[in-house]
Every structure is written in structure tokens, then in C-alpha cells.
């Protein structure tokens, strides 16, 4: 994986974004326990000290061996679900169940055919959340079909918008983030307060999340820092896992539409007023959306 700065960790840390976005405070309400999160990427090093026991299944649809040689998938998996175990980092949803869906080969390349097979597998396995840090340049009818099928089955699909923000024009969002059935994620820059210049723009951008200097796992019990909408996507997927866990605890029916609404309605508007092609609804605010969930719960479950 290019542009990764490998670092040595001597003690467990929260990592960029978690404390600033109030994620640890949410763990008293939900940790992602029992939520099935599929990482569509280059594979996951399931033997990593921070991911041991977290990966429950693995499938490979690429032309490369199973191992995560590229490193991208392990990094994304750590952002979502690294365990709180006294080592390395904390994931956003540290008790979720991870599923390794390899659709990126050892050279960092993917094909729509591999993605389609991944979605078909996820549908069969009744996956709750898909984190897809892949951005294709062209529309594909078959890909859209399986995305629609997964969404219709109840799977919440989180997808990276892409790193094409430097290109001329205002619509550079890749697929599948460009599909309306997904939560398209753009990346915030330093300080997590404004859009990173590399972050793609367009109607497919729904929400912004930390995507610069993001610390996470690398294969071989290593850790490293990188940037991209690829790192913002699993942050949002982790928040979604927390939402799903909390809603299930409240005995609320979980649907992609409900989760989409919670995330977008509670975003912090930045940039141009209102929804725009650069930052979507704004910056994800986990504390605000959990407050919204708690208020909804009180309306439905009044004390007698």
C-alpha cells in the first residue's frame, strides 16, 4: 500500500478521530457486539494482535492468494474493529464481527466482477454492514443490481467516495459510492474540520469523516498512518455498527433507510450551507446521532 508511514506503538492508543468525535463515550451504549461487518478490500491479517478472534470468515474472489499482501484491507479492518486489548489501537466498534471479503488483489487492483461476487456472498451471509473502500470510474448495471439487492435485504452499504478531488469538475465520486443505495463517504483533512482537497466530490458524497493521518493496523503486527476516503469509509462503517447494535438493544427494527436518516439528519453542516456536492450533509457526529436514538427510544419506551 502506497503512502503509508509505519510507526512503532509502545502502548495502546485511541487513534486519530475517536476522542475528538466522542466515540469512547458511546461504548457504554453500544460496542458493535454481534454486528456482522464485511470488509470489501485486499484481505485481512486475522493473526494481527489487534484483530485476533475478530475475523469470523474469509472469502477470496481475486486472482491473488488469500493473504493481505497489499495491506489496505488490514488497515481498514483495524479502523472498524481493532480490539480493546492493551495493544495497538482501538477500533470504532471494538466488539463487532469482521468478515474478510477479498476483492482487491496484491497489486491493489479490483474488478467489478469480483465486487459483484462479493455482494452476492454478503447477501447470502446476511451481512449487516459492508465497508467498501473501492471507487470505480464507470457505471455498471450488474454492480448496481447487486447493490440494490443487498440494500433491499437490509444491508447498510458504506462506500468511499474516492480520492479524485483534484480533478476538474464537481462530480468525481466513484462507484459504488455514487449509487443512491450507499452511504458515500468523503474525507476530512487535518484537524477533521474541513474537506481534504483530495476527497472526491459529487452527488454521491453523503457524509464526511476523518481521512487524514489515520493510524491503524498493518499486516505482521505492524501499525501505520495513511490518508484517503478509504480510511474515512471504515470510520463511518464502525459508527454504523454501533448504531445497529444500539437499535437492536432498543428492539428497534433496523433498516438502511433509518440508519441513513440518523447519520444525515445529525451531521454538522460545513462548507456551503445545506447539502452540497463537496461535503454532502456535513461531518458525521456520532454523539449527536446517538442522542437522537436515545430520544427516539424514550418516546417509544415510556416508564409505567
Question: Is 250 assigned a catalytic role?
Answer: no
Active site residue 199: no
Sheet holding 97-102, edge to edge: 55-60, 97-102, 36-41, 129-132, 156-160, 182-188, 207-210
- The whole-angstrom separation of Cα 5 and Cα 71 is 12
Q: Out of 41, 50, 128, 276, which one is annotated catalytic?
A: 41
Q: What is d(CA 178, CA 162) in angstroms, rounded to the nearest whole number? A: 10
Cα separation, 289 vs 266, in Å, equals: 5
Q: Is 72 a catalytic residue?
A: yes
The label of the residue with cell 471494538 reads 94
Q: Which one from 45, 50, 72, 128 is the annotated catalytic residue?
A: 72
> Annotated catalytic residue: which of 151, 230, 245, 276?
230
Strand partners of residue 86: none
Largest CA distance in the chain: 60
| Residue 98 parent element (H or E) | strand 97-102
The catalytic residue positions are 41, 72, 230
Amino acid at each position: 500500500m502506497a503512502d503509508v508511514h509505519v510507526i512503532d506503538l509502545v502502548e495502546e492508543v485511541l487513534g486519530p478521530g475517536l476522542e475528538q468525535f466522542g466515540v469512547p463515550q458511546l461504548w457504554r451504549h453500544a460496542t458493535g457486539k454481534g454486528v456482522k461487518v464485511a470488509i470489501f478490500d485486499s484481505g485481512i491479517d486475522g493473526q494481527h494482535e489487534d484483530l485476533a478472534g475478530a475475523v469470523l470468515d474469509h472469502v477470496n474472489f481475486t486472482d491473488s492468494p488469500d493473504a493481505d499482501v497489499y495491506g489496505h484491507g488490514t488497515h481498514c479492518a483495524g479502523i472498524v474493529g481493532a480490539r480493546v486489548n492493551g495493544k495497538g489501537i482501538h477500533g470504532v466498534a471494538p466488539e463487532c464481527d469482521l468478515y474478510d471479503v477479498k476483492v482487491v488483489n496484491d497489486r491493489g487492483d479490483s474488478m467489478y466482477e469480483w465486487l459483484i461476487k462479493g455482494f452476492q456472498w454478503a447477501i447470502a451471509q446476511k451481512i449487516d454492514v459492508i465497508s467498501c473502500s473501492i471507487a470505480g470510474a464507470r457505471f455498471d448495471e450488474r454492480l448496481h443490481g447487486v447493490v440494490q439487492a443487498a440494500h433491499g435485504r437490509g444491508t447498510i452499504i458504506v462506500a468511499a467516495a474516492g480520492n479524485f478531488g483534484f480533478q476538474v469538475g464537481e462530480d468525481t465520486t466513484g462507484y459504488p459510492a455514487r449509487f443512491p443505495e450507499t452511504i458515500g463517504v468523503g474525507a476530512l483533512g487535518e484537524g477533521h474540520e474541513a474537506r481534504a482537497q483530495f476527497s472526491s466530490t459529487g452527488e454521491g458524497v453523503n457524509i464526511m469523516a476523518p481521512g487524514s493521518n489515520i493510524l491503524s493496523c498493518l499486516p505482521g503486527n505492524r501499525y501505520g498512518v495513511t490518508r484517503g476516503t478509504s480510511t474515512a469509509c471504515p470510520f463511518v462503517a464502525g459508527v454504523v455498527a454501533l448504531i445497529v447494535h444500539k437499535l437492536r438493544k432498543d428492539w428497534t427494527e433496523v433498516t438502511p433507510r433509518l440508519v441513513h436518516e440518523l447519520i444525515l439528519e445529525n451531521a454538522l453542516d460545513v462548507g456551503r450551507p445545506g447539502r452540497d456536492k463537496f461535503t454532502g450533509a456535513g461531518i458525521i457526529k456520532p454523539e449527536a446521532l446517538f442522542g437522537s436514538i436515545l430520544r427516539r427510544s424514550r418516546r417509544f419506551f415510556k416508564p409505567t
